[in-house]
Structure 1
Amino acid sequence: MRAPIGHFDTAVPAPDCLDELTRPVADAVRHWSGSVPADRIVWVDTDPQWADTAVFVEHYGRELLEQSANCVVVAGRRGGETTLAGCVVLSTTRVDVNGVVRRQLGVRKASFAAMDTAVGETGMEYGGITPIGLPAAWPVLVDSRLVDLPWVLVGSGRRRGKLLVPGKAFAELPGAVVLEGLGM
């Protein structure tokens, strides 16, 4: 199979390579439901040495810069309670943690979750966290610009490999809330 975007040597429908994914991501692909069929989610092999965005797009295709997304874990606090959420934005933007995220979660304070919390709670590798397979109870905040893209490159749960996902699939993830201005 040829990757729909980018220049990757290996591209495989995600349901055909579950061993390449972390358990939560593989489970999410295995139990996928929505208007986008699971086999339209494509796993591509990438070398972790090219992980830095500038180097990545030079190696795998400049067009990926405008079609890549980052998923970060945010912790919101209010009255001793902590709420964790996934936030997915274009890689050319940053998450509006103190504005959009704080208001959406209804918390007094929001910040990026500590690395050990993000990794421990998601079951994914740091630097490879993806919205596909996040804990079911979490809200998944999605920048509205992503859902209109034909394809979005996002983490696969591991540092090695990425997923190519039709943009509209992000709006159908469990707990998904599509927000204007999430990425600024």
Structure 2
Amino acid sequence: MTRLPAPRSADGPYRIALVCLGNICRSPMADVVLSERVDEAGLAGRVEVSSSGTGGWHVGNPMDRRAAATLTAAGYDPTAHRAHQFDPADLRGLDLVLAMDAQNLADVTSGADDDRVRLFRDFDPVDPGGEVPDPYYGGDAGFEEVLAMVERTAATIVAQLSDELRDQQR
């Protein structure tokens, strides 16, 4: 199974960025779910989660209404999200960057090999290494499929974070 990269520094929180194309569907859904799971695991303050898109078309906008509705129906609060564009300079301060698909991965790394940049679903216990499909041009079922992938993958990530951060305290 894929393991999280070690923190870049023992000081400060473990920083995770989730990246998709426009930062209005997949990565903000993952951000909301992963952030809530981090809080539930008692890791708030020790782990920071953010999301962004490789494109800048939606900067400052809330997430797609269908993504927000899917999250709301599942008991999450999507209201704080505003789209942000990924800046390659952000890599310096991040411990882990999780791209939603292979194109997002290529856009983030620009061909450089960096073990901190992975596919989000490298941590998926059902289909490791798969892509999170973009539900933007589809119907509600696509957003529900993305949420299911995000929830199970977030659970695996948080379990590893709990182990990693517990080991750091020893």
Normalising by structure 1, what TM-score?
Answer: 0.28
Q: Hey, which of these two has a bigger chunk of helix by percent?
A: 2
Normalising by structure 2, what TM-score?
Answer: 0.30
Q: Hey, which of these two has a bigger chunk of strand by percent?
A: 1
